Structure 1
């Protein structure tokens, strides 16, 4: 039995948006023909299952409690996940040497005593442009694999910490994303990179609501200013507020938290990203 099996959601009024959306879940699941998302099996049973309410609350918060829109978006996401095969072992997929060193998942301790999940996208590790970016579908599978791996460390199926209603406090189950551009010169205006970037932005906006805590862009070349223009076209104003550009990589650590969880290269006191990533994998299997 997981902790969420016995967890209790705060009391909800009869007409609360969360209960309204939950009442539509049988139809949503039937239309989508898929029930799994982020390690959670959505259940229409009553009383509502804690982990199911957690997912529904994310969708409600992303559309300011618009029950109709939340139901529509969740249906689309479940259909997309089924078509993309995201709940069929993608997290263990091996992408080979073309993607070696391009992405890591770690955790960083914060002031509240908990640890934030962090994804690191190391674009400077790309040596030959066409290897990771030449096949758009393969790149997307790799990028989504990184995101799904990070989400797995949120333990959404096991947590007993609820998400506050829209406008009543922050969602505690979100991820920091870091994009490292040190040494990058070939990206500039390359059409392969632009296509991949825009595709990722569209997918994240459509199918990963309320999962971004902060996004850091570190040592971004001036010639890549097009990227921020592209992002502004696809994300909400609320999401754009979470973006932060850091000119010098050594300043990143003080934005993240516990220095021991951040590599010395980025102003912390910890080991390199590979070691930190492996450490998290080891913790997850203990």
Structure 2
């Protein structure tokens, strides 16, 4: 049987040996090496974590109208360079920006459509149009420009109706109202400016700068107008060089600076001799534009081209039931200043002295008596000995001079 004292000593010895095997107590101060060791572990594992996704920017999806028409996207890529080179960004009241701006998109679509999708050609045309607007400032011409009433009074009108909740804009050019063809067309630049001023008023009514929807490149375009050119009672059928020059210049400027703004163009009361003008237009305008031209020999038939609701508003002279243009249409500001320079006050005739008059009278009487003595020679008619074929030649030359804008 074991001794109780021995058993007690063994139990106490066992209790004393346990502390030597126990780890450091929690309240024991750790060494510097133990404190820094976790930091070293974190530093070692940090590079393993991927950081690239944090710096990546989400891909921006382009609008559908750019993906649908790649040429339009390419056109927008070139737009900043165009605006920088020209130094002007206003087109038809729209400040050109980027492809997120709806009015800007519509402007570029028009220039691209006018060039049948050719981006380089559209870029060249837009550059020329911007430069022309920068030099001429047609908006100012429409707002504050004043033109001679004697030259342009009654020649141009603007009416705006409503169709399906949108403005339907008409410009009317009444060339039969020209009083003096030489005065109206002699200054071609001034005539172009007056015509551009009328166009700008029409563009303002289209409200392109307020557009909220992009037009369909291959679909309908609500931002277009109707033009009517009336040649009733035109007096300048034998067109002189001044009229031809002004006509050509208007066609050139409008084809460059106002593309795809025309919905339809009606030439009413058109003389057959004006065929040369339509041929000239085909040289400067795209096929997409010339297909919109409609010659009508009788102006009263114009209303037949439109729905009944619009017929109620068109002027009576064109087959409608509405008021005449002079009664409700808008015009470019005109001034009543005379066309020609003021005539100088005629100088009073110099009174001759009685002696000088007496000297001159015998000379005049002598000349009269001498003339009376000479036999009167009859002038031989020039028409009689005309060479054969001369009538045909003169007839051939006449049509080249005929026509009107």
Residue number among 87, 90, 112 corresponding to 2:141 in the alignment: 90
The answer for unaligned runs of 5 or more in structure 1 is: 1-8, 282-286
- Does 1:147 find its partner at 2:211? no
Counterparts of residues 26-175 of structure 1 (less than 5 Å): 26-44=80-98, 48-87=100-139, 89-92=140-143, 93-97=145-149, 98-110=151-163, 112=164, 114-165=166-217, 168-175=218-225
Residue number among 161, 175, 188 corresponding to 2:238 in the alignment: 188
Q: Is the 8 A contact 1:177 1:214 kept in 2?
A: yes
Cross-structure match for 1:251: 301
**CA distance in 2 between partners of 1:106 and 1:14 (Å):** 36
Cross-structure match for 1:274: 326
RMSD value, Cα: 2.1
**CA distance in 2 between partners of 1:136 and 1:180 (Å):** 20
Q: Is the 8 A contact 2:72 2:109 kept in 1?
A: yes
Q: Is the 8 A contact 1:60 1:70 kept in 2?
A: yes
Q: Is the 8 A contact 1:185 1:221 kept in 2?
A: no
Pairwise CA distance, 1:275: 2.5
The alpha-carbon distance between structure 1 residues 187 and 148, as it changes in their structure 2 partners (threshold 3 A), is: farther
**CA distance in 2 between partners of 1:215 and 1:15 (Å):** 28
Higher helix share: 2
The alpha-carbon distance between structure 1 residues 117 and 15, as it changes in their structure 2 partners (threshold 3 A), is: closer
- Secondary structure of residue in 2 paired with 1:225: helix
Moved more, 136-145 or 236-245: 236-245
- Secondary structure of residue in 2 paired with 1:116: strand
**CA distance in 2 between partners of 1:261 and 1:109 (Å):** 10
Pairwise CA distance, 1:129: 1.2
1:84-136 residue CA offsets vs partner (Å, 9 max, x unmatched): 2224x1112111212111001112444x4534211100001111112211111
Moved more, 139-148 or 18-27: 18-27
Structure showing greater Rg: 2
**CA distance in 2 between partners of 1:115 and 1:188 (Å):** 38
The alpha-carbon distance between structure 1 residues 13 and 226, as it changes in their structure 2 partners (threshold 3 A), is: closer
The alpha-carbon distance between structure 1 residues 278 and 195, as it changes in their structure 2 partners (threshold 3 A), is: closer
- Secondary structure of residue in 2 paired with 1:244: strand
1:12-71 residue CA offsets vs partner (Å, 9 max, x unmatched): 329732222222221110011101110111114xx6211111111111111122222222
Cross-structure match for 2:252: 202
Q: Is the 8 A contact 1:106 1:277 kept in 2?
A: yes
Pairwise CA distance, 1:178: 0.5
- TM-score, normalised on structure 2? 0.62
Moved more, 16-25 or 236-245: 16-25
1:210-258 residue CA offsets vs partner (Å, 9 max, x unmatched): 1111110001122322212222222222221111011111111121440
**CA distance in 2 between partners of 1:261 and 1:115 (Å):** 13
Residue number among 262, 271, 278 corresponding to 2:314 in the alignment: 262
Moved more, 156-165 or 144-153: 156-165
The alpha-carbon distance between structure 1 residues 31 and 149, as it changes in their structure 2 partners (threshold 3 A), is: same
Q: Is the 8 A contact 1:63 1:70 kept in 2?
A: yes
